[in-house]
Amino acid sequence: MTLTSKTLRKAIVDRALAGQPTSPLCPHARECGGCAFQDRAYADQVAAKAAVSRELYASGGIRVDEFEVVPSPNPFTYRTRMDYVATKGRFGLRARGKFNYIIELTTCHLIPPEAFTAAQAVWRRAGKLGLPDYDIRTHSGFLRYVVVRRNPNDELLIAAVTAAGGDEATMAALAETALAQPGVVGFHWLVNDTLTDLSFGEPRRHWGVAELAMRIGEMVCFVGPNTFFQNNVYLAERLIGDAVAAAAVEPTMRAADLYGGVGAIGLHLARRAASVDCVEAVADSVALAQRNAIANGVANLHPICADTLEYLRSQPAGSLPVIVADPPRTGLGPQVCQELLRIGSQRMVYVSCNPLTQVADLQILTTAYRVISLRGYDMFPHTPHVEAIAVLERAA
């Protein structure tokens, strides 16, 4: 298999579409970009991801005895975050393969019906308040996205991402509508005053609670409208629990949680280790990691606002017996991998949202380590995406 993202995606798509046809739950499934495989049996989707992933890792020289993909307990209503586009009088998601065309949704099965209804109510109220949708072609208008964050208790944090302008009184009226929806506990106004099409923005003001409490295993993690968190409410605890168990950290050990976000993995590690450095480059996430450590009574988690590469360069060889890394889709990269080789941890756990870049990184790391286990997780059912955890031990 040629190692390109296009080839990987196409291989998964082709395998999944060869699966058993089934009637899609959503009327928009065949045109909306949110669910590519909803018209194929879920078991066949998971099998397709496992088969293609096995081939991918083998083509990169990464050999394990078996590779399974853990299915989502529920392939619907699984998202902890959804970003709905507001443009040209339409509220919805991008069409499959057409970035600039928005499918106007009447329903969405990626989040619970009440959550979709709440987001749609905010968009409709914005129109009545005279807040025009944003046009991504002409870069005119105001309301760009309505973002929904949802926790396992189905509490909701809603954010309106806007262009510059607007007035606080009108946004307060929009917030009132949001907070009147069932389950909504907080509303944020975020401003993205750039030409870049992003569903994140600078916080302008919030009404209700500022953060949403996510319970994962032993811990409660507070997240804000801009912070990263695993995006499957049913599988997040399993993935994080498996990563922590695989780390096999002991009470005398120092560990590092790289790309640690708000501390979801690091907090669990800290309950088992002597100390844990939670390294994260986004200052807002570091602040939340500090808050989460206090809220959970964890005194030995040390949130550090730093670039991962610079942090690793400051660590002596042999100083970190255990490292867990959960990088973005770009992966670790050659420089970080070389620093990991220099430090020489006894064990590393590599959580990846992009097997393609994980394979490239593992090809470097396996010059000194062996992969003792590799497992996939279907964090995004009905899509070509798959996450994986690789567990590495230093070769003798």
Q: What are the residue numbers of the active site?
A: 353
| Residue entry with tokens 């939340």 | 288
Q: Which residues pair with 159 in a beta bridge?
A: 147, 188
Query: Helices (DSSP H) in the chain: which residue ranges?
Result: 5-17, 42-59, 113-128, 168-179, 236-247, 264-270, 283-295, 308-313, 334-343, 355-365
Q: For residues 152 and 156, what is the distance between their CA atoms, to the nearest angstrom?
A: 10
* DSSP, residue by residue, 279-325: EES-HHHHHHHHHHHHHTT--SEEEEES-HHHHHHTSPTT--SEEEE
Burial call 147-175: b when 16+ CB within 10 Å, e when fewer: bbbbbeeebbbbbbbbbeebeeeebeebb
Q: Which residues pair with 72 in a beta bridge?
A: none
Q: For residues 190 and 174, what is the distance between their CA atoms, to the nearest angstrom?
A: 13
Q: For residues 387 and 278, what is the distance between their CA atoms, to the nearest angstrom?
A: 21
57 Ramachandran zone, left/alpha/beta (phi>0; psi -120 to 50): alpha
Helix axes 334-343, 355-365, angle to 10 degrees: 40
Among candidate residues 74, 75, 77, 89, the one with its CA nearest the CA of residue 114: 77
Q: For residues 123 and 216, what is the distance between their CA atoms, to the nearest angstrom?
A: 31
CA distances from 209 to 158, 205, 229 (A): 10, 11, 18
**Strand duo 387-394 + 69-70: pairing:** unpaired
* DSSP, residue by residue, 200-264: --EEEEEEE-SSEEEEETTEEEEE-SS----S-TTTHHHHHHHHHHHH---TT-EEEEET-TTSH
